[in-house]
Structure 1
């Protein structure tokens, strides 16, 4: 049973100094707030001709500013104040924090190489400290607890299920860092194919809303939600009918000379496929029985397998450091010369593209959806190598910068 269903609460070290003792006794309860005291005054009577009034100093009233955020698998986490420093595992939650105006407090990240910040260059006044984040790369440090102590973050936006299943952390390791540094709050949302993730999943905007609760930034969240709904609605209104949309195979292969391909299923509702679902494409793997890439499934397809599927569009992940033109010159160029690869319909039609980030947040999603619309429907939205913009960059920047 998940701790969310247990309804247990955790508080940060800075806000609840007895947390460690409570963990030891198994009592993971949230802080109780102080009780407001009524101001009291005392009046004394005098003679008929004179009267004096003396008033005692009012008792100090302490306002209870604590709040809780509940998210599987951690459950409800109580904060006495908004966290000032934080560390996410992936670029999805990192991007959410940036969108909510919290870039300055990000102390590090799980994998800096998979957090793509170049999109912020198109947003006036929006940036992150890439050097600081890269210097505190949790995966590079083998998820060392020492780095957690060094960063000394108020909160860790990391799914504890990942710590247990990917990095062999024990529950006592998690409780140690929660009690002595700061609590964990987060949920792996980019895919839904791992058997160990047997608790609730969240959509991109459901997770984003949780981060808005964490940082008490409801107004920014709602502004992004409105922008996103308007943006996606406008694109969907211009899409061709369903029977005229291409079939798509999404895969991972990080080399410039690909020979095998790891499969992703678009039917998986993970957030890394959000743009493809919003754009209504058909999964080329439908009906094949091929499973989605996961912790347990590391299968790959060769060119002969791919030729049997023969998708209209081939999307390859692992090349986000390249521009659209660089990708076409290298990866597509190699496939065009491959003895089997050149037989693929997508290769013959030049419809092989970068597949997007594995972990995307709300800002990333706007850029990736714009790119995907061009990849899938170039006649309507323009060439993917072109500079046609489908959403207002300044409006995004304004929200991030608090001008809502």
Structure 2
């Protein structure tokens, strides 16, 4: 990927207004720009990209306005969207091109019928587009993602020149060594930021409001002025989840689950996650009401600070009913069983695990899931945990209406 310009000198001259001038004209930031975003750098990798915090607080009960319409002096309609940590951002036109950091925000844009405007992505390796193959008439142009798969520098933001950035600026500051002045410069000279790191709740620097998946999705819908699509997708999600939950066995009859990360086909050690984290990456497990096999063990959650790993003897001391292993999302269920599970079945210690003996070792799901991803991951999780009720995970049984999802994406609401 080309580095593009150095940023500050690019763009139209003062007497050459463009569509972007109208897009970002009047953009304002609510009190305390990027409050709480300063902190030490950390490296976001798949092996340390989720976490648990016992002190994480729920989002405030009061609701921010999703979008507030106003009228400009010229008679055109402007509107505002408020989301922590940036605050209020005002748009004079609906963004056409946009840039997400990772899979959750990319998937939100696709769900709202805006996939054609995605200009690149901050982490293409954590965005799974194959799910769209199951939705009739839905696809994503992967060329921009292949050309710009890791947009993380000021130069790349200038080069892409998007209309809005779905990034948490705190992440740029704490993970990629940006300064606050860098964020402000890009917001002023390129386009505003609207985003919040939602997939985990373990970063000390994230001391501002968190959002649930659908709270964040609502903000993205407000940016694109796609309220009807959002509400229709939320209704579909709520109805689907209610149907699943109505068929779950009593809590005492559900399996206890251990969620780990290990990206190799021949795993020897495992990094532990805790299901008590309220980040969106564990939404399906919370919604299915499963128990955390690590509860009461004193084993800490994988995080940027905690790099501890467990060997097979450690796993055997916990001996979960179900073992979930992240890092294999480009494998099918059958491929995972033929590689990772097969290796564990032949391992002298691993083969003694109850989950291995019962064939209940599965892929652990995405770190970055949006609303469409979540439908597929919840369906998969229901099959993994309750195959007698929902069907085998390697089978073709569908638990939600693919065509209805496709209709929403395509605007047939």
TM range (shorter): 0.7 to 0.9
RMSD: 2.2
Which residue is 1:192 aligned to? Answer: 201
Change (3 A) 1:123 1:31: closer
Shift of 1:125: 1.1
Instruction: Render the CA deviation track for 1:252-295: whole Å, top value 9, x for unaligned.
Output: 11000111111111110000100011111001111122222222
Which residue is 1:352 aligned to? Answer: 361
The correspondence of residues 168-183 of structure 1 with structure 2, limited to 5 A, is 168-183=177-192
Shift of 1:16: 6.8
For residues 34 and 274 of structure 1, the distance between their equivalents in structure 2, rounded to whole angstroms, comes to 40
Mapped contact 1:89–1:158 kept (Cα < 8 A): yes
Structure 2, unmatched stretches of 5+, are: 1-18, 35-67
Higher deviation after alignment, 117-126 or 283-292? 283-292
Higher deviation after alignment, 242-251 or 291-300? 291-300
For residues 187 and 195 of structure 2, the distance between their equivalents in structure 1, rounded to whole angstroms, comes to 13
Which residue is 2:128 aligned to? Answer: 116
Shift of 1:131: 1.9
Change (3 A) 1:157 1:17: closer
Mapped contact 1:253–1:261 kept (Cα < 8 A): yes
The correspondence of residues 12-91 of structure 1 with structure 2, limited to 5 A, is 14-15=21-22, 34-35=72-73, 62-91=74-103
For residues 83 and 317 of structure 2, the distance between their equivalents in structure 1, rounded to whole angstroms, comes to 42
Which residue is 1:129 aligned to? Answer: 141
Shift of 1:299: 1.7
Shift of 1:196: 1.2
Mapped contact 1:31–1:78 kept (Cα < 8 A): no
Which residue is 2:258 aligned to? Answer: 249
Q: Which has the higher contact order (CA 8 A, sep 6+)?
A: 2
Which residue is 2:158 aligned to? Answer: 149
For residues 210 and 269 of structure 1, the distance between their equivalents in structure 2, rounded to whole angstroms, comes to 19
The number of aligned residues is: 360
Shift of 1:138: 2.3
Q: SS state of the match for residue 315, structure 1? A: strand
Shift of 1:31: 12
Correspondence for 2:376 among 347, 367, 373? 367
Mapped contact 1:96–1:362 kept (Cα < 8 A): yes
Shift of 1:33: 5.1
Mapped contact 1:193–1:292 kept (Cα < 8 A): no
The runs of at least 4 consecutive aligned structure 1 residues that moved more than 4 Å come to: 16-20, 30-33
Change (3 A) 1:391 1:74: same
Correspondence for 2:287 among 273, 278, 289? 278
For residues 369 and 251 of structure 1, the distance between their equivalents in structure 2, rounded to whole angstroms, comes to 18
Q: SS state of the match for residue 15, structure 1? A: helix
Shift of 1:114: 1.0
Is the aligned partner of 1:388 residue 2:397?
yes
For residues 292 and 216 of structure 2, the distance between their equivalents in structure 1, rounded to whole angstroms, comes to 25
For residues 290 and 200 of structure 1, the distance between their equivalents in structure 2, rounded to whole angstroms, comes to 27
Mapped contact 2:23–2:95 kept (Cα < 8 A): no
Higher deviation after alignment, 285-294 or 390-399? 285-294
Mapped contact 2:24–2:191 kept (Cα < 8 A): no
Q: TM-score, normalised by structure 1?
A: 0.85
Change (3 A) 1:179 1:308: same
Change (3 A) 1:238 1:218: same
Which residue is 1:58 aligned to? Answer: none
Structure 1, unmatched stretches of 5+, are: 1-11, 36-61
Larger radius of gyration: 1
The correspondence of residues 236-315 of structure 1 with structure 2, limited to 5 A, is 236-315=245-324
For residues 374 and 76 of structure 1, the distance between their equivalents in structure 2, rounded to whole angstroms, comes to 41
For residues 31 and 237 of structure 1, the distance between their equivalents in structure 2, rounded to whole angstroms, comes to 39
Is the aligned partner of 1:100 residue 2:107?
no
Which residue is 2:61 aligned to? Answer: none
Which residue is 1:38 aligned to? Answer: none
Change (3 A) 1:377 1:32: closer
Change (3 A) 1:273 1:201: same
For residues 308 and 230 of structure 1, the distance between their equivalents in structure 2, rounded to whole angstroms, comes to 39
Shift of 1:193: 1.1
For residues 69 and 378 of structure 2, the distance between their equivalents in structure 1, rounded to whole angstroms, comes to 42
Higher deviation after alignment, 130-139 or 206-215? 130-139
Mapped contact 2:23–2:94 kept (Cα < 8 A): no
Correspondence for 2:329 among 298, 320, 325? 320
Mapped contact 2:69–2:80 kept (Cα < 8 A): no
For residues 33 and 367 of structure 1, the distance between their equivalents in structure 2, rounded to whole angstroms, comes to 41
Which residue is 1:54 aligned to? Answer: none
Mapped contact 2:383–2:391 kept (Cα < 8 A): yes
